[in-house]
Chain A
Amino acid sequence: MKRSRYLTPKRQTLIWLTLAGYAIFALFPLIWVVMMSFKSHIDIISPVPKFIFTPSFENYKAILFGGQSMQYEAGQTDFLLYFKNSCIITISAVVLSLLAGVPAAYALARYRFRFKDDIAFTFLSFRFAPEIAVIIPIYILYQKLHLYNTYVGLIFVYQLITLPLIVWIIRGYFEDISVEIEQAAKLDGYSWWGVFTKIALPLVKPGLASTAVLAFIFAWNNFIFGLILGSSDTYPSTVGALGFISYESVLWGQMAAATVITIMPPLILAIFIQKYLVRGLTMGAIRG
């Protein structure tokens, strides 16, 4: 509902200004940190915050190429490793969830079978469960199974984030397809697999892509699983970013640079999925 005919120019400017104010609130931390990442150390610790300065790449060089080697907790020189870890774990987790979740979503959308609602609810419940409750037993299990600090171990736990999302949202997309189209395909001589691959999947492609991207973003942004079930070999960059804080001092500049690099992937991807965001955030409850 848009009451655009009631928008006098005065009102329009008022709305615009208020939104601009909120936008400043939303963007300021980001912009400030980006600036900080390009500041040299002296500029950062200056008592009067500097808005005008000569940019320098020293922070980025430090974390990417290990220009300054100092002894710190998580080892900031390993930042590239952490970034790589994030990529491997997140992408693999999403792929695994797609392979298992898309057929499951189809089954939930099209078939009636016993326990269907229970199974669907179980998927949903993962979204609401407190992580530590499941992390502790997994931590113990992983020690025994030698899965602690492994990619496989983390990829599996990340299913807790990605699988419910994919199953519930893509189920909605499948349900949006008219049943008769699939019935026509069956009558045209195709078994369930033919109907699934040639009709159902192509028709949910855009939704599928956007949901995968959304799952990627949420998985990438995760912190707690990597913190507890990973170690220096497998920390994702969200955990690695914390490594710039130590007992001695904080490497503000490098932390800022690490922060900027870490948020790049999800932010860029977010541009492409704006349309599908509401459905994703509410687990399909709102058809956006």
Chain B
Amino acid sequence: MSTVVLRDVHKDYGKVKAVRGISFECADREILAILGPSGAGKTSTLKMIAGLEAVTRGEILENGRLVNFLPPEKRNAAMVFESYALYPHFTVYENIAFPLRSKSARLGAETIDTRVHEVAEMLQIESLLGRKPAELSGGQKQRVSLGRALAKRAEILLLDEPLSHLDAKLRHHMRRELKKYQRSLNTTVIYVTHDYLEALALASKIVVLNVGVIHQIGTPSEVYNNPADTFVAALIGQPSINLVPCRIQIESAEELVCISRDGSFHVPCPLAAEQLPPDCREVLVGIRPQYLQISPNLDDRGMAGEIYVSEYMGTDSIVEVKVGDHILRALTQEHNYCIAQAARIQVLKRDIMLFDMHTGKNLLNNQDRVYSTKS
């Protein structure tokens, strides 16, 4: 059983408040991703779970025990550092064997040797066992670092941006490998990243962190389809979501419209009048790029727009359309748009998100919204 619970945890570095009261739970054998931009406090949180940083306020429980004052050498956790933190004076073999040689591990020489080779084989670094870290490439170092963490067979595996220094292809490959390892070793994993793709792909639960505060905790699907606020919505998705400030206007008894200040941007409002919070007239309309429908046929319904820029990406194109004063990003599989071409822009009501203009909070709280097709 290896659960991790954080309750109202704070971390101050002198006057700087890096972590401001976060709480979340990671269940046994779950992969939990902490997602956020740099400076969010992700690494501080991870180090507090590892015991490498002291908790300023709040409680951290591992397996139900309060571990705030438990020193790192006594915690049943292993960590892969962003900088890999390999021991430069040891060979790869020694690096992986090091945690196994500690007094608390109490393993015999043979067991240690078997374990090291086991891990090396799993990570395909057997040929590197005699080398020193200085002779390794980035990807190799990352695997050795992972090997050192896995060799321990700790209950909790902590990963600090393990893939961020790898090139795109390798990153993709390692993502899949990581998922495999976790399943075979059955450990609880807490994974820190600023790359939302990694979080979505790997985790069963995502904690979105920004400037020391949690914005949302949810499954990948929840976080993508039902972002708690504009920050989460903008963080996840490439190209990022379109946010347009609008007023809500009453067209008729059932139909409400969100309309921008200059009137050029108008979409149906996904909420009925009684569902809107009182006094709420100004909102941010959120539309993911793939839901923006562009039609070159000027007789179609929709907003009047003009093609601004088109970027060919292979399967898709990122097209920027000018609607009034707003530039909207769209993801489409049509590649033949010309600059300044006129078009009509439409969005389905069900694809529209609504956020409060001042708090940024998501006004729709549909837990059961289901999305298919395009991603």
Direct contact of A and B (CB under 8 A): yes
| Residues A187 and B87 in contact, CB atoms below 8 Å apart | no
A184 and B88 CA atoms in complex are apart in Å by 12
Binding site for B on A (CB under 8 A): 178, 180-181, 183-191, 194, 198-199, 202-203
A180 and B72 CA atoms in complex are apart in Å by 13
A184 and B85 CA atoms in complex are apart in Å by 7
A28 and B52 CA atoms in complex are apart in Å by 58
B74 CB → nearest A CB, Å? 8
Taking the complex as formed, is B337 at the interface, i.e. its CB lies under 8 A from any CB of chain A?
no
10 inter-chain pairs at a CB distance below 8 angstroms, sorted by A residue, are A181-B85, A181-B87, A184-B87, A187-B51, A187-B75, A187-B79, A188-B102, A194-B103, A198-B98, A203-B88
A181 and B52 CA atoms in complex are apart in Å by 12
User: Which size bracket describes the interface of B in this complex?
Assistant: 20 to 34
Taking the complex as formed, is B358 at the interface, i.e. its CB lies under 8 A from any CB of chain A?
no
| Residues A186 and B89 in contact, CB atoms below 8 Å apart | no
- Across-interface contacts of A189 in B (CB, < 8 A): 73, 99, 102-105, 152
Which residue of the partner chain B has the closest CB to A199?
B87
Candidates B52, B104, B152; contact of A183 at CB < 8 Å:
B52
In terms of DSSP, what is the predominant structure of the interface of chain B?
Answer: loop
Taking the complex as formed, is B31 at the interface, i.e. its CB lies under 8 A from any CB of chain A?
no
Which residue of the partner chain A has the closest CB to B78?
A187
- Across-interface contacts of B85 in A (CB, < 8 A): 178, 180-181, 183-184
Q: Given contacts A183-B50, A189-B105, could you give 4 more A-B pairs where the C-beta distance is less than 8 Å?
A: A181-B88, A187-B79, A188-B148, A198-B98
Binding site for A on B (CB under 8 A): 47, 50-52, 71-73, 75, 77-79, 81, 83, 85-89, 98-99, 102-105, 148, 152
Candidates A178, A186, A194, A202; contact of B52 at CB < 8 Å:
A186
Which residue of the partner chain A has the closest CB to B145?
A184
- Across-interface contacts of A202 in B (CB, < 8 A): 89
Which residue of the partner chain B has the closest CB to A186?
B72
| Residues A184 and B81 in contact, CB atoms below 8 Å apart | yes
- Across-interface contacts of B98 in A (CB, < 8 A): 185, 188, 198
| Residues A187 and B103 in contact, CB atoms below 8 Å apart | no
A277 and B52 CA atoms in complex are apart in Å by 35
| Residues B73 and A184 in contact, CB atoms below 8 Å apart | no
Which residue of the partner chain A has the closest CB to B102?
A189
